[in-house]
Amino acid sequence: MKRIVILISGRGSNMLSLLESDLPVEVCAVISNRPDAAGIEIARNRGIEAFAVDHRQYSSREEFDAALSAKIDAFSPEIVVLAGFMRILGNDFVARYSGRLVNIPPSLLPSFPGVDTHRRALAEGVKIHGCTVHFVTEQLDHGAIIIQAAVPVLQEDSAETLAARVLAEEHRIYPQAIRWLAEGKLKLADGRVFLESPGDPPAALIHPPLSP
């Protein structure tokens, strides 16, 4: 079983989706950059060591990254999972965990990296929105894509309703990505991810649907 450490900043809904998915992994620790993150108590109630490395206690990003990486390395994880971790990590940190650091932004990368993705998607009038699991690189919300899920953007959508629909897909695809990674089914080559025995490709997703 692969050893993983999960990084959170808030309630940890993606963390919880991983914990409830019977994955072939051992969750060694949950670490938050916020001591008041609700996900810490959720993890502790499941018998997982959980604690905070408060970024506000460090004078620079580099000092925080060094302290965080020291805590992570104490558990010798093979995979480090960002699950709603709302801090930008420095280049040295990312390089330290290259090829085993994954994230799930609420956008169909490379579109809408960064924050306010749902509001920006609505403002641009896109018809499809979604989420992406990818390997983390030094560039924000960039890196080899493992899996994506798309949802239609409805005329009556607000940023909140669209976010809720995307979040449901995050909870579906993140466990799948971690399962593939833990089972050694992913190959990273030339900046792309290839899945062993992917099966039949999905049908085209078209929205609005074509007229008969």
Given a cut of 80, whether residue 202 has pLDDT beyond it is no
The per-residue pLDDT for range 39-90, each reduced to its tens digit, is 999 999 999 999 999 999 999 999 999 999 999 999 999 999 999 999 999 9
- Only one residue has tokens 């019977």, namely 22
Q: Considering the chain, what percentage of its residues have pLDDT values greater than 70?
A: 99
Using a pLDDT cut of 90, give the percent of the chain over it.
Answer: 87
Domains of the chain plus CATH, in order, are 1-103 (3.40.50.170), 106-198 (3.40.50.170)
Pairing relationship of beta strands 2-8 and 79-82 according to DSSP bridges: parallel
- What was the pLDDT predicted at 140? 87
Say if residues 70 and 30 touch (Cβ distance below 8 Å): no
Per-residue confidence band for 211, with pLDDT thresholds at 50, 70 and 90? low
In this model, does residue 187 exceed pLDDT 70? yes
Checking if the pLDDT of 208 tops 90, the result is no
* Interstrand relation of 49-52 and 25-32 (parallel, antiparallel or unpaired): parallel
Question: According to the model, what pLDDT value does residue 138 have?
Answer: 92
Confidence (pLDDT) at 212:
63
d(CA 91, CA 62): 9
**pLDDT (mean) for 90-116:** 95
Query: How many CB atoms sit inside 10 A of residue 197's CB?
Result: 5
Q: What is the pLDDT of residues 145-163, one digit of tens each?
A: 999 999 999 999 999 999 9
Asked whether the predicted pLDDT for residue 120 surpasses 80, the reply is yes
Average pLDDT, whole number, for the chain? 94
The answer to whether residue 169 scores a pLDDT higher than 80 is: yes
Answering whether pTM is above 0.85, one says yes
At 24-36, the pLDDT tens digits run 999 999 999 999 9
